[in-house]
């Protein structure tokens, strides 16, 4: 049950919104005409002149779970706040104030939230701006696809569930508009769960060797999914100009002027963005796509233990009734290969702990996924809030980082440290980088090279964090 002080414009609007949500609402005011309006929408009312008395006879303040104080008289609002907080220690109290200058004192008096004209108007503008940008992007995506006969969707090298499900969502939208669509990637899909996901969902992705990347020129339109630029793919060419970029990763790298750029760093997964497009284009989502998108969101938000937004939750609610629970359970619990187990074992054996940081140099490996799995595993160590795993695949060094530190934005740290040496990006709680071995001192001795790469990367990493730590990794 909700209690509202004031039946003016704000009080009426709040009462109406609460009634639409099925709430029982009680409204207090000194104006009989104003009370009659809220009675008309089904609210119970009491006539009180707050300027003369706060003797709330007949009202059990302790019975209300939400109390909203909306009168235009600031002194009255303060007195109301003092009384209701004294009588009800548990209720959520929201209070109206003339400006942001009053926020501190009102919170000290017991308010949970303070609404001010300057803050609320600014938030309304921001919300409307974000909404307008989204609808403009939706119309632009439709316009781009309506002019195309063929579309190539490019995922980053070694694509993960978020990238794969998002790419398939865009393919579904494009094919609904009669556009012939193919999905391409470079590198390898090495993670056992990712390979199982593709097999079970019956998805078809095309791997392009570097010497055949010219075939992308044959397509009318090019889209990048789950990457903000071309630095995370080995199949791009100097002439390649993407028309569509949809991603959720923060980056300080090269910016591309595509016709449509929809990058939302606050959102937990690109799959969330693509779910909103599917929903608003009113395209039917089959159980394979729904299962893949939901899994992509769960992976990139670490089952909502990493940063996420309301949009991510909305997407899950939309997808949940459509998924195949048996398929999701199998995908979430894949078998682990012996080669991945070897890398995990090496990551544990080679770990170096510095306060709340753990770094492990695993040397030469076969897949990037084994590095990310190792970083996930090391982050579970007691007292550790940041993990960094370094490995070498062919002629590149790879870095996988994880964080559960509320202060350290690992994506910004990794990007700041390594973006000029190679490619880097990520989100607040996870990040990755790729650096050519040419950036390090040359040697033909593999063991020496592994040590040089590990020491150089760890030194740069701690330098960015302004920590003075010595020793080989």
**DSSP secondary structure of 405-442:** -SS--HHHHHHHHHTTTEEEEE-SSEEEEEEEGGGS--
The answer to whether position 470 is within a domain reads no
Q: What's the CA gap between 79 and 69, in Å, rounded?
A: 10
The last residue of a domain, from among 279, 308, 332: 332
Both structure tokens of 426: 């990520």
**Helix or strand holding residue 174 (H, E):** helix 161-176
User: Are 192 and 314 in a shared domain?
Assistant: yes
Q: Are residues 220 and 265 in the same domain?
A: yes
Structural domain contains residue 471: no
Q: Which of 275, 307, 332 is the last residue of a domain?
A: 332
User: E strands of 227-356, at which residues?
Assistant: 244-247, 260-263, 352-354
CATH of the domain at 449: 3.10.310.30
Same domain, 110 and 147: no
| Same domain flag for 172 and 310 | yes
- The CATH number of residue 291's host domain is 3.90.1640.10
Please tell me the distance from the alpha carbon of residue 8 to that of residue 2, in angstroms, as a whole number: 16
Residue at 469 is within a domain:
no
Q: Are residues 54 and 168 in the same domain?
A: no
| Same domain for 182 and 142 | yes
In a domain, 213, yes or no: yes
Same domain, residue pair 409 and 436 = yes
Q: How many structural domains is the chain composed of?
A: 3
Q: Would you write out the chain's pLDDT as a tens digit for each of its 473 residues?
A: 889 999 988 888 888 887 876 678 899 988 899 999 999 998 999 888 776 666 676 788 888 878 889 888 888 889 889 888 888 887 888 888 888 888 888 988 988 888 887 666 566 556 666 777 788 889 999 999 999 999 999 998 888 999 999 999 999 999 999 999 999 998 788 777 788 888 889 899 998 876 677 788 899 999 999 988 877 777 777 678 899 999 987 666 566 778 998 988 889 999 999 999 999 999 999 999 999 999 999 988 888 877 778 889 999 999 999 999 988 888 887 777 788 889 999 999 999 999 899 999 999 998 888 899 899 999 999 999 999 999 999 889 999 999 988 888 898 899 999 988 988 888 778 889 999 998 887 788 889 999 999 999 999 999 998 865 554 44
Write out pLDDT tens, residues 281-327: 999 999 999 999 999 999 888 888 777 788 899 999 999 999 999 88
**End position of a domain, from candidates 332, 362, 382:** 332
Contact, 326 vs 200, CB < 8 A?
no
Establish if 472 belongs to a structural domain: no
Is 342 found in the same domain as 326? no
- Do the domain assignments include residue 473? no
Q: What is the pLDDT of residues 407-445, one digit of tens each?
A: 888 988 999 999 889 888 887 788 899 999 988 877 888
Question: Locate tokens 């939706």: which residue?
Answer: 138
Judge if 92 and 164 occupy the same domain: no
Question: pTM, whole model, 2 decimals?
Answer: 0.59
Same domain, 232 and 162: yes
Domain that holds residue 203: 127-332
pLDDT of residue 48: 83
Same domain assignment for residues 170 and 318: yes
> Could you tell me if 365 and 393 are in contact, meaning their C-beta atoms sit under 8 angstroms apart?
yes
């Amino acid at each position: 049950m909700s209690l509202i002080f004031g039946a003016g414009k704000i009080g009426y609007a709040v009462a109406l919104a609460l009634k639409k949500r099925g709430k029982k609402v009680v409204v207090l005011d000194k104006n009989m005409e104003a009370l009659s309006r809220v009675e008309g929408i089904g609210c119970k009312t009491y006539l009180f002149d707050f300027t003369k008395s706060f003797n709330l006879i007949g009202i059990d303040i302790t019975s209300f779970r939400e109390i909203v104080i909306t009168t235009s008289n600031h002194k009255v609002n303060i007195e109301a706040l003092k009384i209701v907080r004294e009588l009800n220690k548990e209720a959520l109290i929201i209070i109206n104030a003339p400006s942001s200058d009053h926020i501190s004192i009102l919170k000290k008096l017991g308010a949970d939230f303070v609404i001010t004209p300057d803050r609320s108007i600014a938030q309304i503008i921001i919300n409307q701006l974000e909404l307008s940008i989204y609808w403009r992007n939706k119309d632009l995506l439709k316009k781009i696809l309506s002019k195309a006969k063929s579309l190539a969707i490019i995922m980053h090298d070694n694509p993960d569930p978020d990238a794969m499900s998002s790419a398939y969502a865009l393919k579904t939208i494009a094919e609904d508009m009669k556009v012939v669509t193919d999905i391409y990637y470079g590198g390898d899909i090495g993670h056992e769960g990712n390979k199982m996901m593709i097999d079970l969902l019956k998805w078809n992705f095309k791997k392009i060797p570097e010497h055949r990347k010219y075939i992308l020129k044959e397509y009318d339109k090019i889209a990048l999914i789950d990457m903000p630029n071309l630095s995370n793919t080995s199949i791009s060419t100097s002439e390649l100009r993407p028309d569509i970029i949809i991603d959720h990763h923060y980056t300080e790298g090269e910016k591309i002027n595509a016709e449509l750029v929809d990058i939302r760093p606050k959102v937990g997964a690109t799959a969330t963005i693509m779910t909103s497009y599917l929903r608003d284009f009113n395209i039917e989502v089959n159980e394979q796509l729904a299962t893949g998108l939901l899994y992509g969101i769960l992976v990139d938000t670490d089952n909502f233990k990493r940063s996420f937004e309301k949009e991510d939750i909305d997407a899950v609610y939309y997808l949940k009734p459509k998924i195949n629970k048996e398929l999701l359970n199998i995908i979430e619990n894949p078998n682990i290969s012996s080669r991945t187990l070897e890398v995990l074992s090496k990551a544990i054996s080679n770990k170096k702990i510095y306060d709340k940081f753990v770094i492990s140099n695993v040397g030469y490996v076969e897949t990037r996924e084994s590095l990310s799995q190792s970083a996930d595993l090391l982050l579970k160590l007691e007292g550790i809030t940041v993990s960094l795993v370094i490995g070498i695949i062919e002629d590149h060094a790879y870095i996988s980082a994880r964080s559960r530190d509320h202060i350290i934005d690992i994506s910004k740290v990794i990007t700041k440290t390594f973006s000029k040496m190679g490619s880097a990006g990520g989100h607040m709680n996870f990040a990755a980088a790729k650096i050519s071995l040419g950036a390090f001192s040359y040697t033909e001795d593999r063991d020496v090279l592994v040590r040089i790469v590990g020491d150089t990367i760890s030194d740069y990493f701690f330098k960015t964090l302004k920590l003075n730590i010595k020793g080989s990794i």
